[in-house]
Structure 1
Amino acid sequence: MNAVYINGAACISVQDTLNKDFIYHLKPEKSVQVLKAIEPNYKELIPPALIRRMSKTVKMSSMASHYALKEAKVEVPDAIIIGTGMGCSQDSEKFLKNVIDNHEEFLTPTHFIQSTHNTVSGQIALALQCHAYNFTYVNHSSSLEFSLLDAKLQINDNEASSVLVGSTDEQTERTMELYRLNDTIKKEANLPVDYLNSSTDGVIWGEGASFFVIEKEKKENSYAQLIDIQITNKIEINIVPTFIEDFLAKNKLTRNDIDVVMLGFSGDSKSDTYYTKVMDLFSNSELLYYKHLSGEFNTASGFSTFMACHILKHQEIPEVMMINHLKKDKIEHILLYNQFGGNDHSLILLRKA
């Protein structure tokens, strides 16, 4: 497959990532169980009457997609592809609560209609009057990667020349309660988290929406080339080096060609061992981590992809992300490796545009 270009990128996250100078104001979050996204003033783009009926993930996605399209100078994309792990869970919870509270009678359909996972892609399409290919991937923590892969195929097969790709996940009160009960979220007694040397299980949970405009042609404002994506559900820890080296070999690269490796250390002692294994492979690369800035959630790799785009375009790495302090004169290739609880392993390879 041919490489395609990321020509627009926007992110709403725990950090103030809509701010132009956000890269200089990144703050690690290590002492809170659940992190909330910094939400913009939605009234700038969305009519107040619509805002009231939108869940948080729809609002975040509508804003992030607008800024990504504006940056790429694309009015209406040829396809809209969204990845989400939890979908519109706020509306799902509201609907189920109404079912219980009203004893399954006199239910309004609004929350049910808006609770489907493809609500986000549908709302964006309606706002843009886009009648083209519209798809939503719900593949847990590899949802964004499947979306990027689909977008790449759409462009390589000449089905589209510009594709809006997004990833989004929101928090809900009941789900967070359940995650605390089953120890997905770190216990308060185990805070603050040492992300790189954690000895306890569980994560700090986050949320956010990251959107990208993928196109066939390079532009003046291009962020990066999207070279390849690799996804596998389960893999033994001793096979991870082979998994990565085979992926690089497929793209005619070696470990020494990778300038930056971005790893998804989440503070979960069980699953972070995968990343520790990878660190040994890349002694000549700058090693970065990011979930101390975004929190862990199903589409947290959207935040890392957004950060990688900025690093490639501006050739600048925030010190708060550094694991080692190796300095490269020029950043040409970035490899992103993510997994969630030992499952859904993904690799994203980006090159400077």
Structure 2
Amino acid sequence: MSTVYINSASCISVQDTLNDNILQNLTPRNSSNIIKAIEPNYKEFIPPAMIRRMSKTVKMSSVASNYALKEAGIEQPDAIIVGTGMGCSQDSEKFLKNVIDNHEEFLTPTFFIQSTHNTVAGQIALGLQCHAYNFTYVNTSSSLEFSLLDAQLQINDGEAENVLVGSTDEQTDRTMELYCLNNTIKKETDLPVDYFNSTTNGVIWGEGASFFVVGKNKTENSYAKLKNIQISNKVELNEVKDFIQNFLAQNNLSHNHIDAVILGFSGDANSDMYYTKAMDLFPDSAQLYYKHLSGEFNTASGFSTFIACHILKEQQIPEVMMINTEKKESVKNILLYNHLGGDDHSLVLLEKA
């Protein structure tokens, strides 16, 4: 497939990523096992009457997509593609609670209608009065990667020139309780987390929404070239190096061509071994990690893609993300490697625009 460009990038996360000087103001968040996104003043973007009926993920996505379109100078995208792992779980919980409280009788349909995963993409389209291709991917930790891949296909097939691509996930009280019970989330006694020497299982859970405009043509605002994406549901520990090397070979690259590799270390002793294996391939590259800044969640790779875009555009690598001391004078190629709990492995190759 031919190269496409990421022409804008916007993110709402547990960091203050809507403001300027993003790379200089990143702060580790490793002392609480559940960390919440820094939300903007929604009244500046959404009519107050609508805010009441929107779940958190819809509100975050509406604002993030607004920023992304504005930065790209696009009023109407040719397609809207959103990836999410949990969807509108806040409204799902409200609907299920209504079912129980009302003994399955006299239920209002509102929460059910708003609980579907494609609510986010639908609400963005309604707000823009956009009748173009509208699709939602629900593939746990590779939801954004599938969305980017679809955008690349839409552009390559001549179906679109500018595609709004996003990823979003929210926290809900009941889901977080369940994640604590089954040890998906770290116990309070295991905090703060040492991301490289963790002997305990579980992660710090975050949330957020990241949106990008992917275009056919390079613009003055372009952050990066989206070169290629690879996704695999299962990768054995002894297959990690081949998985990465084969991907690089497909793109006529070797490990020496990768200036920075961004790894999804989450502090989970069971699954971080994949990233440790990957590190061995890149002794001369800047090795970076990011989930101590964003927390772990289904679409956390949206945060790493957003940060990678800024690294390529600003040609700066934040000290707070560095694993080793290797730092290239210029950053041309960045490789992103992510999975969630050892499943759904993804590789994304970005190049300086």
What TM bracket, shorter-length normalisation? over 0.9
Aligned to 2:157: 157
| Distance (whole Å) between structure 2 residues aligned to residue 207 and residue 63 of structure 1 | 15
| Distance (whole Å) between structure 2 residues aligned to residue 173 and residue 45 of structure 1 | 26
Aligned to 1:137: 137
Give, as a single letter, the amino acid of the residue that structure 1 aligns with 2:139. N
Aligned to 2:280: 280
- Report matched runs for 1:1-353 at 5 Å: 1-353=1-353
Give, as a single letter, the amino acid of the residue that structure 2 aligns with 1:350. L
| Distance (whole Å) between structure 1 residues aligned to residue 126 and residue 99 of structure 2 | 29
| Distance (whole Å) between structure 2 residues aligned to residue 235 and residue 26 of structure 1 | 31
State the number of aligned residues.
353
Alpha-carbon offset, residue 107 of structure 1: 1.4
Alpha-carbon offset, residue 22 of structure 1: 2.5
Instruction: Output the TM-score relative to the length of structure 2.
Output: 0.99
Alpha-carbon offset, residue 185 of structure 1: 0.2
| Distance (whole Å) between structure 2 residues aligned to residue 310 and residue 156 of structure 1 | 25
Give, as a single letter, the amino acid of the residue that structure 1 aligns with 2:149. L
| Distance (whole Å) between structure 2 residues aligned to residue 76 and residue 190 of structure 1 | 47
SS at match of 2:211: strand
| Distance (whole Å) between structure 2 residues aligned to residue 44 and residue 85 of structure 1 | 28
| Distance (whole Å) between structure 1 residues aligned to residue 132 and residue 104 of structure 2 | 37
| Distance (whole Å) between structure 1 residues aligned to residue 247 and residue 198 of structure 2 | 29
Alpha-carbon offset, residue 104 of structure 1: 1.4
Give, as a single letter, the amino acid of the residue that structure 2 aligns with 1:284. D
Superposition misfits of 4+ residues, deviation over 6 angstroms: none
| Distance (whole Å) between structure 2 residues aligned to residue 223 and residue 230 of structure 1 | 21
RMSD over equivalenced CA pairs, Å: 0.5
The superposition leaves residues 176-196 of structure 1 with CA deviations (integer Å, 9 ceiling, x where unpaired) of 000000000001111110011
| Distance (whole Å) between structure 1 residues aligned to residue 46 and residue 21 of structure 2 | 24
Alpha-carbon offset, residue 200 of structure 1: 0.5
Alpha-carbon offset, residue 103 of structure 1: 1.2
Alpha-carbon offset, residue 325 of structure 1: 1.1
The superposition leaves residues 164-207 of structure 1 with CA deviations (integer Å, 9 ceiling, x where unpaired) of 00000000000000000000000111111001111110000000
Alpha-carbon offset, residue 102 of structure 1: 1.2
SS at match of 1:163: strand
Structure 2's unaligned 5+ residue stretches are: none
The superposition leaves residues 27-76 of structure 1 with CA deviations (integer Å, 9 ceiling, x where unpaired) of 10111110000000011110000000000000000000000000010100
Alpha-carbon offset, residue 339 of structure 1: 0.6
| Distance (whole Å) between structure 2 residues aligned to residue 195 and residue 47 of structure 1 | 41
| Distance (whole Å) between structure 1 residues aligned to residue 9 and residue 176 of structure 2 | 29
Give, as a single letter, the amino acid of the residue that structure 1 aligns with 2:218. K
| Distance (whole Å) between structure 2 residues aligned to residue 71 and residue 170 of structure 1 | 24
| Distance (whole Å) between structure 2 residues aligned to residue 292 and residue 97 of structure 1 | 33
